[in-house]
Amino acid sequence: MIREFGTSELWFVVSSARWTLALTLIALGLGGVLGFVIALARVSRLAPLRWLAAGWIGLVQGVPVLMLLFLSYYGLSLAGLDLPPLVAAGISLSFYASGFLGEIWRGCIQSVPWQQWEASAALALSRAQQYRYVVLPQAVRIAVPPTVGFIVQLVKNTSIVSIIGVVELARAGHLVNNATFQPMRVFCVVALVYFCICWPISLAARWLERRMHVGRAG
């Protein structure tokens, strides 16, 4: 039976955005923790750690998100973990986020001038103390705008997990379209919801970046 694209369908699409947001937050949290470890490993004094981190970043940035999804989905189930799609999706998106955030944050850590390391070493701070009190506070400031910018990529890429049956925005659009056969209307609404989530974040990222440049010039 063909249904009209009415308010209940509209509500179904809009409310499914909560899963898009949930996936984004999961990936941001888990991926952020993992990404932070990777960023530190990437600038570690131990060469094998650096290589491992570089390899992970190269892998994540060198394959489609779709492949990360399939690999974690099938890999985890082969490992005997029969995970619900939502969890598998969250894990794969976390891997994805960790590779990009790790690389972004590595750049931020390295953009702190080496004199800062020298100066803090001269004060007899340990390596951990140098990170904790001198380098990271400066790196975090630099990291905020590109990190916020990356969230937009993350939100958009959650759409890919629709293929394993997580009913987030894109999947909801697909389901409604199958019932109504009004793809133009349905997917424009879906796009609009994504836009309403992403655009403010993009604007915020740009505003933060501009503010930082002004701050540096002044």
Partner 1 sequence: MAFEFQFQPVLAQSEVLLDGLYLTLELAGTGIVLGGLLGTLLAVLRGVVPALRWPIGVYVEVVRNTPFLVQLFIVYLGLPEAGLRMSAEQAAVITMTLNLGAYATEIVRAGLESVHKSQIEAGLSLALTRWQVFRHVVLGPALARVWPSLSSQFVLMLLSSSVFSFISVQELSGAASNVEQDTFRSFETYIVITVLYLAMAMALRVVLAVLGRVMFAAPVRAR
Binding segment (CB under 8 A) for partner 1, from list 26-34, 40-48, 122-130, 166-174: 166-174
| Planar angle of CA 130, 61, 17, nearest 5 degrees | 95
Contact (Cβ atoms closer than 8 angstroms) between residue 152 and residue 202:
yes
Alpha helices in 158-182 (DSSP H): 169-180
Q: By C-beta, is 120 or 162 nearer to partner 1?
A: 162
Angstrom distance (rounded) from CA 41 to CA 25: 24
State which residue, 50 or 156, has the beta carbon closest to partner 1: 156
183 touching partner 1, by CB under 8 A: yes
Contact status, residue 49 vs residue 209, Cβ threshold 8 Å: no
Choices 1-9, 38-46, 55-63, 111-119 (CB under 8 A): range interacting with partner 1: 55-63
Closest CA to 99 of 53, 146, 144, 67: 53
156 binds partner 1 (CB under 8 A): yes
With binding defined as CB under 8 A, does residue 188 bind partner 1?
yes
Pick from 110, 138, 180, 202: which binds partner 1 (CB under 8 A)?
Answer: 202
Any contact of residue 65 with partner 1 (CB under 8 A)? yes
CB 87 within 8 A of CB 110: no
Does residue 75 belong to the site contacting partner 1 (CB under 8 A)?
yes
Which of 151, 45, 157 minimizes the C-alpha distance to 101? 151
Q: Is 64 in the site for partner 1 (CB under 8 A)?
A: yes
Quick one: which H or E segment has residue 127?
helix 127-129
Binding site for partner 1 (CB under 8 A): 58-59, 61-67, 70-71, 74-75, 78-79, 152, 156-157, 159-160, 162-163, 170, 173-174, 177, 182-184, 187-188, 190-191, 194-195, 198-199, 202
